[in-house]
Amino acid sequence: MKKQFECDKCTDGRIEFFSHVDNGFCYKCNGTGKLNYDPTPKGFVHEEDENRWLEEQEDMERVRQAEIENWMVANRIEGYEHL
């Protein structure tokens, strides 16, 4: 029996995004949701995703720091006005 892989274009043979076209029928896997080959080149996609994830985490951290700094500045300014 051949090993089957999850289709990377759809969920169970249907592409939700294209549900207005042919009911979202996936032509990549002929609506089966399975492929008899691995749709993701080994190592490559995973590594790219991981880098993107790390970048997102760094961006979020930067935004969080900026928000904290803004909050501190805003509160300090308010504090000075009360002094």
Q: Is 7 in the site for Zn ion (CB under 5 A)?
A: yes
3-state secondary structure of 9: coil
Map tokens 């592409």 to a residue. 15
Shortest distance (Å) from residue 28 CB to Zn ion? 5
The one-letter amino acid code at 25 reads F
Shortest distance (Å) from residue 57 CB to Zn ion? 31
Applying the rule CB under 5 A, the residues between 18 and 37 that interact with Zn ion are 26, 28-29
Q: Is 14 in the site for Zn ion (CB under 5 A)?
A: no
Cβ atoms of 31 and 24 closer than 8 Å? no
Cβ atoms of 20 and 53 closer than 8 Å? no
5, 9, 24, 25: which one contacts Zn ion (CB under 5 A)?
9
Shortest distance (Å) from residue 40 CB to Zn ion? 13
Distance between CA atoms of 30 and 33, rounded to whole angstroms?
8
Site for Zn ion, rule CB under 5 A: 7, 9-10, 26, 28-29
